[in-house]
Chain A
Amino acid sequence: GEDVEQSLFLSVREGDSSVINCTYTDSSSTYLYWYKQEPGAGLQLLTYIFSNMDMKQDQRLTVLLNKKDKHLSLRIADTQTGDSAIYFCAESRTNDYKLSFGAGTTVTVRA
């Protein structure tokens, strides 16, 4: 099974809020990240949260972390067409230098 799981698709109307969910399995996760990938581009870091936090807000982005349930979410307020992309959840673990990524959630914003 995968260490980090995400739903594959999300469709949202322009102006609404988007919520992308992620679950992970390792309780030793230290940081959790959200990356955005636009077509033909690499991954762009959106935001990250340390595992002892439960919320982080950055402009239109809100990250919620439920460490007990190992659940991470990314909320995008007032979703715009430019938010259409693939969003990856990733975790880093104690004494591990690499990130483990989910399969990505493709977000489609419709007018």
Chain B
Amino acid sequence: GAGVSQSPSNKVTEKGKDVELRCDPISGHTALYWYRQSLGQGLEFLIYFQGNSAPDKSGLPSDRFSAERTGGSVSTLTIQRTQQEDSAVYLCASSPGQGYSPLHFGNGTRLTVT
């Protein structure tokens, strides 16, 4: 079966532009996570979805960041008015959402803001 799919794999954008990052989780996985990985840093939690609901948005760095999930499947992370400090790899993960299931990660989107 397919794993977690993210697109695009790379995105270069100019400062001030909006970007959308897409995540297609493993079929049947109800839980979906976005993390950010900056150079030399660990993984920074951004947001978690259970189904279409996001009970915890506390990791979003600013109000320029938003995310949605539709149909309990695909999720989109949107960054408005991008800044250079937004440059990072954005990783999506999904899990069956039961108990303490391990997270399954996609290959990430590398975002570069010039």
Which residues of A are in contact with B by a Cβ distance under 8 Å? 2, 4, 30-31, 33, 35, 40-45, 48, 88, 90, 92, 97-104
Contact = CB atoms under 8 A, between A and B. Distances in A.
Main secondary structure, interface of A, reads: strand
Residue among B41, B43, B102 facing the most chain A CB atoms (10 A cut-off): B43
Main secondary structure, interface of B, reads: strand
B72 to A, nearest CB: 16
B56 A98 contact: yes
Contact of A45 (B42, B102, B106): B102
Contact of B31 (A30, A44, A97): A97
Given A4-B42, A101-B43, A103-B40, A42 B33 contact: no
A2 B42 contact: yes
Interface residues of B, number: 23
B4 A42 contact: yes
7 contacts: A30-B100, A31-B100, A42-B4, A43-B43, A90-B43, A97-B48, A98-B56
